[in-house]
């Protein structure tokens, strides 16, 4: 077990919301929801001690960018240490809600994927709605917002997204819902049927 994780949980149980990091099986399952065959812009909300971040960094290609938003100072410092030699990774010690500002600061227009491990269910409704709107706006068309949560209550609030698919994943303590919300490309009138299940053909862009 990660000592740092448990220590930070004892200090801020509601913010950290779990006594252990995600399992290896969950990390792999989540990573498989992303297509790493080309450079990607990925934001992660609440990386904690970095289990998902390390796997994403391991899989993503050289011109990719990974922005990590972590509220907890000790975790943020530890992430900075872990990724000190990796220019693709940017650690932001701050709220996930600062995503639009940070994208602008890094000259990035949109994200291909946004991954979240923050405890959405304890956020006040206004904060939850505002963060969902920012998340939707920050995604490229075709991009995905991926969450892993103990409850699937966010689904009823994330109405901005055109497509959502959930699975209940048992190989984690506690078991988690993994949900992929997709920002769909506009439909060309009656030409197209429902979205294909795993169409991850996304394209984020960097400002000139």
Ligand X SMILES: C[S@@+](CC[C@H](N)C(=O)[O-])C[C@H]1O[C@@H](n2cnc3c(N)ncnc32)[C@H](O)[C@@H]1O
Report the interface residues with ligand X, using CB under 6 A.
Answer: 15-18, 21-22, 45-48, 51-52, 69-72, 75, 95-96, 117-118
- Closest residue to ligand X, judged by C-beta, is 46
User: In the chain, what's the furthest Cα-to-Cα distance?
Assistant: 55
Q: How far is CA 143 from the centre of its chain?
A: 11
Cα separation values, 116 from 14, 62, 74, Å: 16, 23, 19
Nearer to ligand X, 117 or 143 (CB): 117
CB of 194 to ligand X, least distance (A): 31
Nearer to ligand X, 131 or 140 (CB): 131
Name residue 167's beta-bridge partners: 178
Nearer to ligand X, 41 or 178 (CB): 178
CB of 82 to ligand X, least distance (A): 13
Determine how many CB atoms are found less than 10 A away from the CB of residue 188.
Answer: 7
CB of 126 to ligand X, least distance (A): 13
* Rounded-to-integer distance, Cα 155 and Cα 166, Å: 9
In three-state secondary structure terms, 40 is coil
CB of 16 to ligand X, least distance (A): 5
CB of 93 to ligand X, least distance (A): 9
Nearer to ligand X, 40 or 52 (CB): 52
* Rounded-to-integer distance, Cα 123 and Cα 168, Å: 22
Nearer to ligand X, 63 or 137 (CB): 137
Nearer to ligand X, 75 or 161 (CB): 75
Asked if the peptide bond before residue 102 counts as cis, ω within 30 degrees of 0, the response is no
Cα separation values, 10 from 6, 153, 173, Å: 6, 25, 17
CB of 87 to ligand X, least distance (A): 22
Q: Please give the DSSP secondary-structure letter assigned to residue 85.
A: T
């Amino acid at each position: 077990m990660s000592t740092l994780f448990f220590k930070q949980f004892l200090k801020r149980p509601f913010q950290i919301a779990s006594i252990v990091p995600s399992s290896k099986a969950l990390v792999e399952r989540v990573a498989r929801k992303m297509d790493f065959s080309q450079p990607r812009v990925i934001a992660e909300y609440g990386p904690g001690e970095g289990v998902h971040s390390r796997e994403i960094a391991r899989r993503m290609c050289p011109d990719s960018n990974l922005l990590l938003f972590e509220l907890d100072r000790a975790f943020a410092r530890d992430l900075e240490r872990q990724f000190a030699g990796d220019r693709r990774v940017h650690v932001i010690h701050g709220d996930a809600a600062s995503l639009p500002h940070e994208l602008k600061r890094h000259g990035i227009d949109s994200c291909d994927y946004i991954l979240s491990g923050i405890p959405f269910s304890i956020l006040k409704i206004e904060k939850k709605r505002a963060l969902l709107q920012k998340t939707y706006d920050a995604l490229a068309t075709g991009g995905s917002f991926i969450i892993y949560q103990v409850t699937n209550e966010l689904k009823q609030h994330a109405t901005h997204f055109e497509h959502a698919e959930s699975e209940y994943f048992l190989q984690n303590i506690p078991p988690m819902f993994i949900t992929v919300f997709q920002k769909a490309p506009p439909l060309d009138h009656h030409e197209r049927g429902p979205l294909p299940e795993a169409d991850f053909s996304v394209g984020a862009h960097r400002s000139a």
